[in-house]
Structure 1
Amino acid sequence: MINPNRRQNGIRTPNHYSATSTTSYASSTTSNKSTSLVNTISRKVLQAFTGCFTPPTDNHSHNSFSYFDDSNLYRPSSDASNSSNSGKRHGQQTNMYASSNNSQHSEDLGKAKFSMADIYKATKRFSPNLKIGQGGFGTVYKGQLRDGTIVAIKRAKKDINDKHSGQEFRSEVQTLAQVEHLNLVRLYGYVEEEDERILIVEYVPNGTLREHLDGLHSDVHLDLSSRIDIAIDVAHAITYLHTYTDHPIIHRDIKSSNILLTEKLRAKVADFGFARLGADAESGDTHVSTQVKGTAGYLDPEYLSTYHLTDKSDVYSFGVLLVELLSGRRPIETKRPLSERVTAKWAMKKFSQGDAMLAMDPRVERSAANYLALEKIFELASQCLAPHRHIRPSMKKCAEVLWGIRKDYSEGATTENPILSQKPKRDILIREE
């Protein structure tokens, strides 16, 4: 059984990092138009984007590779009633769900409605044999719906006296119900009845990214190509939340244990308990002031010190995730020497000294193509980890850069060369307009 994460003042402190996507949840206060924005967003369901991001697969020819173009990748569905010009948000107004006092998922949303009877049947009355994870939020079971669909059923801890847990639960429902993207875990429904709070979400069969980096899936090898694809998938998901929803959504808990992998090693971002609305650029707001929520090791230091939350806080967490992907290490390694305990700081030091290879996961093959890609990804990570948000790139820019790295890597990996004796000169990869 996995130990739940400990929380201190809204910050998840990893005692033993959860190997599942289930962690504790929290909601937060806002400084700008919070009530009206939440009421607005709770009435919206975004249309599926038929042109979801998809990194090139190995069977694609290099000549067929198409560079990142958001005008092609982000498209509203053909029946969207509120489509707008390129660069603006897309959406369609609809009732998301009725009162949560009802035990069923009150608005159909094109999915099945659920009752406790459905949940008992799907989980064989919460059979221990179907238990697949446990975290601060509660317990996760694998279940099967009446139509045969395999789902993950997240049952919250029972504490009717804890009003925050109810708020956290509704925060995740509101966020999941309004988004739909290839790289986000899909919501099928929920139940909120007396002391039961249950989410029915997409079952992603191949565990978390953190499990794979910890070597818990010995039959699966994460080569550098797979790691780049995972980074691209996550970048696409966060870009969608920041840029292509009706109102910006900040995840606030991007980390490897919240990245689920499919059988084909495609990434899906999960756990929206800390998610909240960001500042809308059209209104002139630059940030929202809110108490700090997140996981130690991933927290934006500027957000931590000022309580000013922006989309660049997710960018910082993504920078930590990039270092995890390259090094294989956890963000905080308490058993290592003092100079290596904060992985991002240690890896960035090695990179700045020209010794990036020393920070590379020893399980990844040493080759010229891998080394060149490693240098470029570390360069991107270093800019994501900048101490001030205005220096960090947007998530959309991160996705563009990663696409370029993927393209160059695919072309360079076709020939196997020995590791370069002379380290290449690093290029400045990011230029924000």
Structure 2
Amino acid sequence: MNLRSESQPGGRKSRSSFVATPDRWENSRSSAASFASSAAMGGRKSPVRKRNAFKAFLRAFVSFFSSSSFKPEITSPRPRTTRTLESPYATPSRLSHSSLRESRKGTIHGRDSPWQRETGSTQFTMEEILKATKNFSPSLKIGQGGFGTVYKATLDDGTPIAVKRAKKSTYENHLSVEFQSEINILGQIEHLNLVRFFGYLEDNDERVVVTEYVPNGTLREHLDGFRGNFLELSARLDIAVDVAHAVTYLHMYADHPIIHRDIKSSNILLTENLRAKVADFGFARFGINEAGVTHISTQVKGTAGYLDPEYLRTYQLTDKSDVYSFGVLLVELISSRRPIERKRELKERITIKWALKNFQQGKTIQVLDHNIPHTPANNLALEKILELAFQCLAPSRQSRPSMRSCAEILWNIRKDYRELLSSDLLSQTSHQRNLSISGDET
């Protein structure tokens, strides 16, 4: 098993034919009070049947978590430790002829382009990396993990980059496999909500991955309050939609299906306008692309607290393992709690169990981050997000929705949330105007 520890079928489209935006998904349901459940359950049902179906699901969910087979506390894990629309694609048509140059792999780079460099698989030289990182200066270090160290650097053309350098002293065979897998997968994907890959270096015992630099830290840092103001619920909804679009692209629209295997808040980077980008493909692997094949038998990799328990138990990997991790992320997003809260009392230590208990007892509001105000719009969105999260967390993968369904449901939740916010603001403005008129008359 390879675990990270966190403390505190059908036809497929070419990647070039699908560029998801936050408003990409079609909307055929506008009722904030009913659409999420019917969409996830796969059809329109009567209110009574929907409630009974969801209650049956919750009973199975509770039974699973109360059984002895569920042990989310991994006893011996291996520690391993970015809103406006803007296109991330630098295409030749957008660059002047004089500003183009070819990389060693035929990738086009534009000095005058606002994107600076196109996604590609450039093989950098050691000299370029040393110059960009100022000989791996400690002052440029922005992250540390089991794989190695991450530095913020700048290329000669002014492009800010993130340089992930593998640890030499612990460079084992499995890390070499992860490195090759990561650069192979990164070189084949391109999406607004995925961190862009610029290239790599493999020179003797040096292993380096070069990606775009995303300036606003990780989602986890924002939830912990380390990046200034806490995130509003509207921003959290946008982030959830972004991540759902990114993972849907990996599962359905990449040239070959990809399973990320490590969806978590510390792998979600945020831009300055809170655009979310999924990062870290060290555990990612190509998924199922053959008719009749239901899963991949493979070694378990992931992070404690986010791991699909069915995958952990059977060693059978499917894209629904990412869906499970996404469910954990949704609970984390609205509560700001880590999946495993080691310093809390036992009944609150496993966040998804704590959230489910409150949901069942009609105390859903207690799950909401205390920094988010209790308003009709926030409370309704909270209820619907939690309902989707628990469907993603179903014990059996067959009971979980697809990532595309998750994205559609979240799009509708956000749409209705915005409409309710607007109506609330309009109502407040009207009320204040009436009070003002009444005061003038007296």
Determine if contact 2:15/2:253 at 8 Å carries over to the other structure.
Answer: no
Q: Distance in 2 between matches of 1:226 and 1:49?
A: 28
Determine if contact 1:186/1:202 at 8 Å carries over to the other structure.
Answer: yes
Which of 254, 261, 272 matches 2:281? 272
**Percent of aligned positions that are identical:** 62
Name the SS of the counterpart of 2:263 in structure 1: coil
Q: Distance in 1 between matches of 2:106 and 2:204?
A: 21
Q: Distance in 2 between matches of 1:175 and 1:289?
A: 19
Q: Any residues of structure 2 matched to 1:255-404 within 5 Å, and which?
A: 255-280=264-289, 282-404=290-412
| Alignment partner of 1:405 is 2:413 | yes
Q: Distance in 2 between matches of 1:346 and 1:122?
A: 46
Q: Distance in 1 between matches of 2:171 and 2:250?
A: 32
Q: Distance in 1 between matches of 2:15 and 2:402?
A: 23
Q: Distance in 2 between matches of 1:167 and 1:236?
A: 27
Q: Alpha-carbon deviation of 1:416?
A: 3.5
Q: Distance in 1 between matches of 2:343 and 2:171?
A: 38
Q: Alpha-carbon deviation of 1:162?
A: 1.5
Give 1:39's aligned residue.
Answer: none
Q: Distance in 2 between matches of 1:195 and 1:51?
A: 37
| Alignment partner of 1:52 is 2:20 | yes
TM-score by structure 1 length?
0.74
Q: Distance in 2 between matches of 1:239 and 1:53?
A: 12
Supply the AA of the counterpart residue of 1:398.
C
Determine if contact 2:150/2:164 at 8 Å carries over to the other structure.
Answer: yes
Give 1:40's aligned residue.
Answer: none
Q: Which whole-Å deviations, capped at 9, do the CAs of 1:83-135 have from their partners, x for residues lacking one?
A: xxxxxxxxxxxxxxxxxxxxxx8523335552010011111111111111111
Name the SS of the counterpart of 2:187 in structure 1: helix
Give 2:57's aligned residue.
Answer: none
Supply the AA of the counterpart residue of 2:174.
H
Give 1:430's aligned residue.
Answer: none
* Structure whose residues are more often helix by fraction: 2
Runs of 4+ displaced beyond 6 Å: none
**Bigger relative contact order, structure 1 or 2 (CA pairs below 8 A, ≥6 apart):** 2
Give 2:241's aligned residue.
Answer: 232
Q: Alpha-carbon deviation of 1:48?
A: 4.3
Q: Alpha-carbon deviation of 1:52?
A: 2.5
Q: Which whole-Å deviations, capped at 9, do the CAs of 1:40-64 have from their partners, x for residues lacking one?
A: xxxxxx75456332249xxxxx9xx
Q: Which whole-Å deviations, capped at 9, do the CAs of 1:158-207 have from their partners, x for residues lacking one?
A: 14762221111111101100000000001100000001000110100000
Does the C-alpha gap of structure 1 residues 400 and 205 become closer, same or farther in structure 2, counting only changes over 3 Å?
same
Give 1:109's aligned residue.
Answer: 107
Which of 185, 194, 205 matches 1:184? 194
Which of 223, 227, 246 matches 2:232? 223
Q: Any residues of structure 2 matched to 1:4-43 within 5 Å, and which?
A: 9-14=1-6, 16=7
Q: Distance in 2 between matches of 1:126 and 1:168?
A: 22
Supply the AA of the counterpart residue of 1:240.
Y
Q: Alpha-carbon deviation of 1:415?
A: 3.6
Q: Distance in 2 between matches of 1:415 and 1:397?
A: 27
Supply the AA of the counterpart residue of 1:120.
L
Q: Distance in 2 between matches of 1:347 and 1:55?
A: 29
Q: Distance in 2 between matches of 1:131 and 1:11?
A: 24
Name the SS of the counterpart of 1:211 in structure 2: helix
Q: Alpha-carbon deviation of 1:354?
A: 1.3
Name the SS of the counterpart of 2:225 in structure 1: coil
Q: Distance in 1 between matches of 2:185 and 2:387?
A: 32
Q: Which whole-Å deviations, capped at 9, do the CAs of 1:243-298 have from their partners, x for residues lacking one?
A: 01122110000000000000000100000011011122x42101001111100000
Determine if contact 1:55/1:232 at 8 Å carries over to the other structure.
Answer: no
- The number of equivalent residue pairs is 334
Determine if contact 2:163/2:210 at 8 Å carries over to the other structure.
Answer: yes
Give 2:179's aligned residue.
Answer: 169
Q: Which whole-Å deviations, capped at 9, do the CAs of 1:315-342 have from their partners, x for residues lacking one?
A: 0000000000010000000111111100
Q: Any residues of structure 2 matched to 1:94-133 within 5 Å, and which?
A: 106-111=104-109, 113-133=123-143
Structure 1: stretches of 5+ with no match in the other structure: 1-8, 18-45, 57-61, 68-76, 80-104, 418-433
Higher Cα radius of gyration: 2
Q: Distance in 2 between matches of 1:260 and 1:318?
A: 15
What is the root-mean-square deviation in Å for CA atoms of aligned residues?
A: 2.1
Name the SS of the counterpart of 2:217 in structure 1: coil
Q: Alpha-carbon deviation of 1:400?
A: 0.2
Determine if contact 2:126/2:201 at 8 Å carries over to the other structure.
Answer: yes
Which of 243, 251, 264 matches 2:260? 251
Determine if contact 1:55/1:229 at 8 Å carries over to the other structure.
Answer: no
TM-score by structure 2 length?
0.72
Q: Distance in 1 between matches of 2:246 and 2:217?
A: 18
Supply the AA of the counterpart residue of 2:353.
K
Supply the AA of the counterpart residue of 1:385.
L
Q: Which whole-Å deviations, capped at 9, do the CAs of 1:366-410 have from their partners, x for residues lacking one?
A: 100100000000000010000000000000000000000000000
Supply the AA of the counterpart residue of 2:22.
T
Does the C-alpha gap of structure 1 residues 221 and 49 become closer, same or farther in structure 2, counting only changes over 3 Å?
farther
